[in-house]
Chains A and B, each alone.
Chain A
């Protein structure tokens, strides 16, 4: 401030001719140190004094010194901030009586002659008001207008009139402003991931804040303030640095100038510079999205104003969660202090429903939520995987959590890659956004692997080592292992995630640079991956990673080479054989020997329960038990089912959907009633299904494979599908309809995806023939869809 006042005083004291102005200006711009708000304000004040002097001298000669004319600064200059290379945005405003042509000449010529770039206009009060009513650009400029010299009353009147007009017409005109915002983002790119960002026009850039100021000025909605003001200041600083380095105006931060600009801003290097830009742009974009959502809600509400005063309409999304006015909100019942899993549950439900998170709810979570225990409970891990598999809606939800600092609380490793730019022509996104994008790209590919959870988590973590020194694949392994262990994956799963991170570039590197006909090539890859399950995971991860990188990273040609390599390696590897089912316990043996129907319920971990059902085997028993569990709102996490000497011993691990305690007597009664026909499971479950909320992004279609040669005594069918209540009931019923008996089954729910393996035989106890396999597979796929 002192610099500004001193300089403007100095300028005012001296007869501020252009020569003095230019030398003072040069002196100001030549000052060492980081440019900032103070230097922009100083330049603005210095310039004010100079143009005011010019204006006064001109008025004196043309006889306009009686009022009715004024010199107005608009745009950024109007806000009292002038960047080194910016135009002087000046408006000569007059009341409309008589001509001002000669005055205008006498004002503009000295400015032109000085070489300072000028953006000028001459308007009457009425013209200014009319244009502001038609042209958004004029309006935005005038909203930031400031009196510099001449008749202050005239300027004040125009300002208040334009503002009042804007407030009156805001609900009608805001959609156009929003459209311009959308269109600008599409045309000028996005500061968050452009390698050569446009600091002014790009999404997240300086122009976004101008639009937001207009929204705020309309009184329709407020915007977030503290972080955003700081972010915009930092962006303006970068632009000042760019202007100073290039010696001219311009807003695009080209690669060739980034090192010099970084040095001018006292930053270590171009990476630090881009990281600053990405960080600031994320805050601006987030603020813009939140503000526009608010504005939309207000406009929508005003259209239905006759219903004002009614209670807010909440549609439940889950315990403590609801949809309100197009956003996911916490309800009054939600308790972030007691419920550490709430952050993840809210994020997952919102992403699956395609809803953004309400900022007030995110603030509440950020303030009140407690840390998850480590390792995470299984339910939290499942919810996390569910969130990662939600597809494109994952991105806005994650970014909202990240802005509030919630992501780093869940995943401290994220701090290393947050806003980290990639100076590499192949990459389209910063590292953090690329990791999210990889999860988004992996979501529709989950049917290609047996472990969707490991795929999605490895997708999110594969480049986590990019924030460390050295080879990022190697550096990422310990970070990913720590993160996966914290999430509660078991040792083997953690190992696989480590393998996926370490080798995420192995397939494309090998496929394009090694001789695929050389047995050593396939042997090396086979040794690195170990088994076909990991090979499958790595193959799908490679595709998701490439798709998330950018169009230059992948081609049909490269895909063909990688596919060929995977095929060759697959031939060398055997499948990971499923571990044998554990032997029956003494208690299970006793119940089986007793011969009747028995149901046991035992608490397992904090939230899971084990339900053991022993019963005489019959076709459809699996479906009946699965249906009864679904009817009692017990969601199945895993199950091991087998039949020995005509007695079925089924062990189910379930999570109660409503935190209720499963009751053995109720389950037993329902099984008996379903078997006698007193309870119509199909009708009950279908009725419930009808009210189920469809995910916003449809999950990939189910897939049924025969695992040939996996068993000598049974046909083995593997179903991969999106989980939903009653899924196992439907699968079991489809098998029963075909008269197929289930000898054993291994059911697992991984996040929101189910991978279920059925060992089946036909009515004679033999293997299914090829035709039956096709028919049964089709029915299973239908049932799972």
Chain B
């Protein structure tokens, strides 16, 4: 099993959610996040005052998937969250050793 994590632009959340649902993903975890990547912070001038925007608001999505689906899920997220502009975010996956569904005690793929 793999944990696919994506950090994307907030307004793309609905698109990604819908795309993952139609792909057949059963559940996702979403959290509010902020950070920066290659774009770094930038400075804006607003009504004469300078604002430094060093941490940009993002949404973080986590999905547990079967090994075989990992690449497809990554592809789905990338496609549905892409705007082509700087700050679109990143997607990565890591191997997961164990997954247990708390209610039933099911393990592994059964628990997804």
Taken together as a complex, chains A and B put the C-alpha atoms of A555 and B34 apart, in Å, by 12
Contacts of A515 in B (CB 8 A): 9, 11, 83
Task: Pick from B9, B32, B44, B83: contact of A557, CB below 8 A.
Answer: B32
Contacts of B51 in A (CB 8 A): 567
Which residues of A (546-590) have their CB < 8 Å from a CB of B?
A: 555, 557-558, 560-561, 564, 567, 570-571
Taken together as a complex, chains A and B put the C-alpha atoms of A515 and B14 apart, in Å, by 12
Which residues of B (33-59) have their CB < 8 Å from a CB of A?
A: 33-34, 44, 46-48, 51, 53, 55, 57
B85 within 8 A of A: yes
Contacts of B13 in A (CB 8 A): 512
Contact between chains at A571 and B10 (CB < 8 Å)? no
Q: How far is the CB of A176 from chain B (nearest CB, A)?
A: 44
Contact between chains at B57 and A557 (CB < 8 Å)? yes
Contact between chains at B11 and A512 (CB < 8 Å)? yes
Given contacts A512-B10, A557-B57, A560-B57, whether A567 and B83 have CB atoms under 8 Å apart is: no
Max count, chain A CB within 10 A of own CB: residue among B11, B33, B47, B51: B11
Contacts of A571 in B (CB 8 A): 46
Contacts of A567 in B (CB 8 A): 44, 46, 51
Q: How far is the CB of A717 from chain B (nearest CB, A)?
A: 14
Contacts of A557 in B (CB 8 A): 32-34, 57
Contact between chains at A561 and B14 (CB < 8 Å)? no
Which residues of B (1-51) have their CB < 8 Å from a CB of A?
A: 9-11, 13-14, 32-34, 44, 46-48, 51
Contact between chains at B57 and A561 (CB < 8 Å)? yes
Contacts of B87 in A (CB 8 A): 517
Contacts of A564 in B (CB 8 A): 53, 57
Task: Pick from B9, B14, B34, B47: contact of A560, CB below 8 A.
Answer: B34
A305 within 8 A of B: no
A310 within 8 A of B: no
Contacts of B48 in A (CB 8 A): 708
Q: How far is the CB of A241 from chain B (nearest CB, A)?
A: 32
A contact residues, range? 10 to 19
Given contacts A555-B32, A564-B53, whether A570 and B9 have CB atoms under 8 Å apart is: no
Contact between chains at A513 and B44 (CB < 8 Å)? no
Closest chain B residue to A512 by CB distance? B10
Q: How far is the CB of B8 from chain A (nearest CB, A)?
A: 12
A514 within 8 A of B: yes
Contacts of A516 in B (CB 8 A): 11
Taken together as a complex, chains A and B put the C-alpha atoms of A567 and B47 apart, in Å, by 9
Contact between chains at B85 and A517 (CB < 8 Å)? yes
Contacts of B11 in A (CB 8 A): 512-516
Contact between chains at A570 and B32 (CB < 8 Å)? no
Q: How far is the CB of B93 from chain A (nearest CB, A)?
A: 25
Closest chain A residue to B48 by CB distance? A708
Contacts of A570 in B (CB 8 A): 46-47
Taken together as a complex, chains A and B put the C-alpha atoms of A514 and B13 apart, in Å, by 10
Taken together as a complex, chains A and B put the C-alpha atoms of A515 and B9 apart, in Å, by 8
Closest chain A residue to B10 by CB distance? A512
Q: How far is the CB of A716 from chain B (nearest CB, A)?
A: 13
B contact residues, range? 10 to 19
Taken together as a complex, chains A and B put the C-alpha atoms of A513 and B44 apart, in Å, by 22
Contact between chains at B44 and A561 (CB < 8 Å)? no
Closest chain B residue to A514 by CB distance? B11
Taken together as a complex, chains A and B put the C-alpha atoms of A571 and B55 apart, in Å, by 21
Closest chain A residue to B31 by CB distance? A557
Contact between chains at B10 and A561 (CB < 8 Å)? yes
Q: How far is the CB of B49 from chain A (nearest CB, A)?
A: 10
Which residues of B (43-91) have their CB < 8 Å from a CB of A?
A: 44, 46-48, 51, 53, 55, 57, 83, 85, 87
Taken together as a complex, chains A and B put the C-alpha atoms of A433 and B51 apart, in Å, by 36
Contacts of A708 in B (CB 8 A): 48
Taken together as a complex, chains A and B put the C-alpha atoms of A555 and B33 apart, in Å, by 11
Contacts of B55 in A (CB 8 A): 560
Contacts of B9 in A (CB 8 A): 515
Taken together as a complex, chains A and B put the C-alpha atoms of A708 and B34 apart, in Å, by 33
Max count, chain A CB within 10 A of own CB: residue among B10, B14, B55: B10
Closest chain B residue to A559 by CB distance? B57
Taken together as a complex, chains A and B put the C-alpha atoms of A571 and B47 apart, in Å, by 8
Taken together as a complex, chains A and B put the C-alpha atoms of A765 and B55 apart, in Å, by 45
Contact between chains at A558 and B53 (CB < 8 Å)? no
Max count, chain A CB within 10 A of own CB: residue among B10, B14, B32, B57: B57
Q: How far is the CB of A523 from chain B (nearest CB, A)?
A: 16
Closest chain A residue to B53 by CB distance? A564
Taken together as a complex, chains A and B put the C-alpha atoms of A515 and B47 apart, in Å, by 22
Which residues of A (95-150) have their CB < 8 Å from a CB of B?
A: none
Max count, chain A CB within 10 A of own CB: residue among B44, B46, B87: B46
Task: Pick from A511, A514, A517, A558: contact of B32, CB below 8 A.
Answer: A558
Contacts of B83 in A (CB 8 A): 515, 517
Max count, chain B CB within 10 A of own CB: residue among A513, A515, A557, A558: A557
Max count, chain B CB within 10 A of own CB: residue among A512, A514, A558, A570: A512
Taken together as a complex, chains A and B put the C-alpha atoms of A261 and B16 apart, in Å, by 40
- Against B, the Cβ 8 Å flags (1 = close, 0 = not) of A491-529 are 000000000000000000001111111000000000000
Q: How far is the CB of A67 from chain B (nearest CB, A)?
A: 61
Q: How far is the CB of B78 from chain A (nearest CB, A)?
A: 17
Taken together as a complex, chains A and B put the C-alpha atoms of A315 and B88 apart, in Å, by 64
Closest chain A residue to B47 by CB distance? A570
Contact between chains at A513 and B14 (CB < 8 Å)? yes
Contacts of B46 in A (CB 8 A): 567, 570-571
Q: How far is the CB of A525 from chain B (nearest CB, A)?
A: 13
Contacts of B10 in A (CB 8 A): 511-513, 561
Taken together as a complex, chains A and B put the C-alpha atoms of A402 and B56 apart, in Å, by 45
Max count, chain B CB within 10 A of own CB: residue among A511, A515, A555, A570: A515
Closest chain B residue to A562 by CB distance? B57
Q: How far is the CB of A61 from chain B (nearest CB, A)?
A: 54
Taken together as a complex, chains A and B put the C-alpha atoms of A570 and B44 apart, in Å, by 12
Taken together as a complex, chains A and B put the C-alpha atoms of A555 and B51 apart, in Å, by 20
Q: How far is the CB of A780 from chain B (nearest CB, A)?
A: 18
Taken together as a complex, chains A and B put the C-alpha atoms of A561 and B34 apart, in Å, by 10
Taken together as a complex, chains A and B put the C-alpha atoms of A297 and B14 apart, in Å, by 58
Taken together as a complex, chains A and B put the C-alpha atoms of A618 and B13 apart, in Å, by 63
Closest chain A residue to B34 by CB distance? A557
Which residues of A (288-340) have their CB < 8 Å from a CB of B?
A: none
Taken together as a complex, chains A and B put the C-alpha atoms of A558 and B10 apart, in Å, by 10
Taken together as a complex, chains A and B put the C-alpha atoms of A513 and B59 apart, in Å, by 11
Contacts of A560 in B (CB 8 A): 34, 55, 57
Closest chain B residue to A521 by CB distance? B11
Taken together as a complex, chains A and B put the C-alpha atoms of A25 and B7 apart, in Å, by 62
Q: How far is the CB of B96 from chain A (nearest CB, A)?
A: 27
Contacts of B57 in A (CB 8 A): 557-558, 560-561, 564
Taken together as a complex, chains A and B put the C-alpha atoms of A555 and B10 apart, in Å, by 14
Q: How far is the CB of A719 from chain B (nearest CB, A)?
A: 17
- Against B, the Cβ 8 Å flags (1 = close, 0 = not) of A52-69 are 000000000000000000
Contacts of B34 in A (CB 8 A): 557, 560
Taken together as a complex, chains A and B put the C-alpha atoms of A571 and B11 apart, in Å, by 21
Q: How far is the CB of B58 from chain A (nearest CB, A)?
A: 9
Taken together as a complex, chains A and B put the C-alpha atoms of A708 and B10 apart, in Å, by 34
Contacts of B32 in A (CB 8 A): 555, 557-558
Contacts of A558 in B (CB 8 A): 32, 57
Taken together as a complex, chains A and B put the C-alpha atoms of A560 and B44 apart, in Å, by 14
Closest chain A residue to B14 by CB distance? A513
Taken together as a complex, chains A and B put the C-alpha atoms of A624 and B85 apart, in Å, by 60
Taken together as a complex, chains A and B put the C-alpha atoms of A561 and B9 apart, in Å, by 11
Taken together as a complex, chains A and B put the C-alpha atoms of A408 and B92 apart, in Å, by 58
Pull 24 A–B residue pairs with CB atoms less than 8 Å apart, ordered by A: A511-B10, A512-B13, A513-B10, A514-B11, A515-B11, A515-B83, A516-B11, A517-B83, A517-B87, A555-B32, A557-B32, A557-B33, A557-B57, A558-B32, A558-B57, A560-B34, A560-B57, A561-B10, A564-B53, A564-B57, A567-B44, A567-B51, A571-B46, A708-B48
Query: Which 4 pairs, one residue from A and one from B, show the smallest C-beta to C-beta distance?
Result: A557-B32, A567-B46, A561-B57, A560-B57
8 extra A-B contacts, CB within 8 A, seeds A512-B10, A515-B11, A557-B33: A512-B11, A512-B13, A515-B83, A555-B32, A557-B32, A558-B32, A561-B10, A564-B57
